[in-house]
Structure 1
Amino acid sequence: MKINWGTAIVIAFGLFMTFILYFVFEVQSNSKYDNDLVVEEYYKHDTHFQEEMARIQNAHDLQHKPSIKYTDSGVAVTFPAGFESDKVQGNILLYRPSNKKFDFNTKIALTNSSILIPQKKLIKGRWDVNMEWQYEGKKYLTKEVIYVN
């Protein structure tokens, strides 16, 4: 039996479609490839986008900004000396993009203008740190990405 060009193209196209369908079903059914939404209630979160951008701009406009750094003992958040520790309020969300099971929230309670999130709470890899805070009635949002070794 001889195969002409038209038949070969149809066979190749059929094999390609079979491969693509196999790949789609494998990714959808295997829990190794988790494809959850980044944020629960995405549309509700999106409605507050302008407010979030204003808080980010407030933090960007500060002359002395708080710093978020990874050290051997954990994640250190340090506010400049000009901030009164008892007037700073807010939360620090440590968000793990690869697995939401590891996400956690910490209330800001400063000692000597800083807070330390211990190493034992963190696993290796990328962490997104979102610090929503308020000082003297003005709201701020600071976002950083850190890598834990």
Structure 2
Amino acid sequence: MKLKFNWGTGIALTYILFLIAILTMVFIFMNQDVALETNDYYAKGLEYQSQIDKIERTKNLTEQLEILNKNDQIVFNFPKIFANKIISGEIYFYRPSNNKSDFKSKIDLTDSLQQIIFTKNLEKGLWKIKVDWSVENQNYYNEKILMIN
């Protein structure tokens, strides 16, 4: 017996293949991990004016915070104008491709106003370093993108 393939069968097969393709794409896309930069993204957006103020205050400093990537370590050189003053805050390491790698570190400076973080345990690739720090009730904020090799 010979199977006839008419135009109605062709249209039905086309619809079925299209439906299978759409369902496959929906299944794949629903299983993708989509991570926001923060879980409270919208709340942080509402209070962003204070962040803008910190950034402006930081830009107006005569000496800037240096963030250097050298020899398997990230060196944070805080401004010397704050010598003999207490600098506190946090350094946030944000990995855009994998939020499970994100971590925070408290600022703990040496006498020369430096903090060193070793990179041997960090994943290789792009990192966004966010430093939220304060001196004498004045808040500052720095951000830098680094490539860890």
| TM-score scaled by length of structure 2 | 0.82
> Which structure 2 residues correspond to residues 25-36 of structure 1 after superposition, within 5 A?
25-29=27-31, 33-36=32-35
**How much is the aligned-residue C-alpha RMSD, in angstroms?**
2.3
82-91 vs 62-71, greater mean Cα deviation: 82-91
The change in CA–CA distance for 1:17 and 1:63 in structure 2 (over 3 A counts) is farther
8 A contact 1:133–1:141 mirrored in 2? yes
* Map of 1:129 onto structure 2: 129
Alignment of 1:1-149 (within 5 A): 3=7, 15-16=17-18, 18-29=20-31, 33-84=32-83, 86-111=85-110, 112-149=112-149
Identity between Structure 1 and Structure 2 (%): 29
| Secondary structure, counterpart of 2:80 in structure 1 | coil
Structure 1: state its 5+ residue gaps. Answer: none
Show structure 2 runs of 5+ residues with no match. none
Q: Is the 8 A contact 2:85 2:135 kept in 1?
A: no
* Other structure's SS at 1:143 match: strand
Cα distance in structure 1, aligned partners of 2:61 and 2:13: 64
Asked if the contact 1:75/1:117 (under 8 Å) is kept, the reply is yes
Aligned residues: 143
Distance 2:59 2:17 in 1: 53
Aligned in 2, Cα 1:23/1:106: closer, same or farther, shift over 3 Å?
same
TM (norm. structure 1) is 0.82
Shift of 1:117: 0.6
State the shift of 1:75 in Å.
1.0
SS at the partner of 1:23? helix
Shift in CA distance, 49/11, structure 1 to aligned 2, threshold 3 Å: farther
> CA–CA distance in 2 between the matches of 1:125 and 1:86?
35
Q: Deviations over 1:31-86 (max 9, x none)?
A: xx321222112222222111111111111222210011211231111113222154
